[in-house]
Amino acid sequence: MLTGRVDKIPNVDGGNISVRWRPADVADASVNFDAPRVMVWHTTETDDVPAYRTNSAPHFTVPDDELALYQHVNLGRIGNALRHTEPPETNAVSAIQVEQVARSSVSPWLPREKEQQVVIASLAEFALKEFGVPKQRVFPDTLEQGIVWATPTNPRRRAGKWGKAPGHFTHCEVTGG
């Protein structure tokens, strides 16, 4: 398992994807690797890689228009992109947190640029090989009719899977925040 900074990750299409170090000011604590391995996906709601506020950065940001990746937090340390108002400490359970330069949507979507699709696929493969995060969604892509994603009342947040099920979550499926 890699820890710290990475300079590159393998590209699923061959070769490597460069990783640019853009450190963020975050709380420093270890990821709880006794918990099931998870990766949490966010959208930046911006058009570019943002400058993250103190204690609000993920491990990586995937730009939308280049075959590159930005790293903000050392691997093995907690990312700080998740908020929580109740236990468990959500950031400590997430092996890798990723922000995609994109805007969220109520319908399933794919990134519009091929470069971002390749980086996302490569990062999922990297998470599997380095951290044992299985390449599976914990929940289906669609949400039941009438349920709003980004609210504390989203039933996925109360489903009891966070900290117990391995795989890929969106930030709206993480309990407590």
pLDDT reading at 111 higher than 60? yes
Is there a contact between 169 and 138 (Cβ–Cβ < 8 Å)? Answer: yes
Mean pLDDT of the chain: 89
What is the distance between the alpha carbons of residues 75 and 94, in angstroms, rounded to a whole number?
Answer: 11
122, 10 Cβ separation under 8 angstroms? yes
Contacts 24+ apart (CB under 8 A), 160-165: 162/38, 162/88, 162/90, 162/93, 163/35, 163/36, 163/88, 163/93, 164/36, 165/36, 165/38, 165/138
DSSP 49: P
* Antiparallel, parallel or unpaired: β 16-21 and 8-10: antiparallel
Q: pTM, whole model, 2 decimals?
A: 0.92
**In the predicted model, is pLDDT for residue 88 greater than 90?**
no
Bridge partners of 41, per DSSP, are 98, 170
User: Which DSSP category does 122 fall into?
Assistant: H
For residue 134, pLDDT over 70 is answered with yes
How far CA 79 is from CA of 58, 108, 117, 170, in Å, comes to 5, 25, 22, 15
pLDDT at 41: 93
Number of Cβ within a 10 Å radius of residue 62: 27
Per-residue confidence (pLDDT) for residue 176, from 0 to 100: 66
| CA distance linking residue 129 with residue 56, whole number of Å | 26
Q: Which two tokens stand for residue 102?
A: 């994109």
Look at residue 162 in the predicted model and tell me its pLDDT.
86
Q: Flag whether pLDDT at 101 surpasses 90.
A: yes
pLDDT grade, residue 157 (50/70/90)?
confident
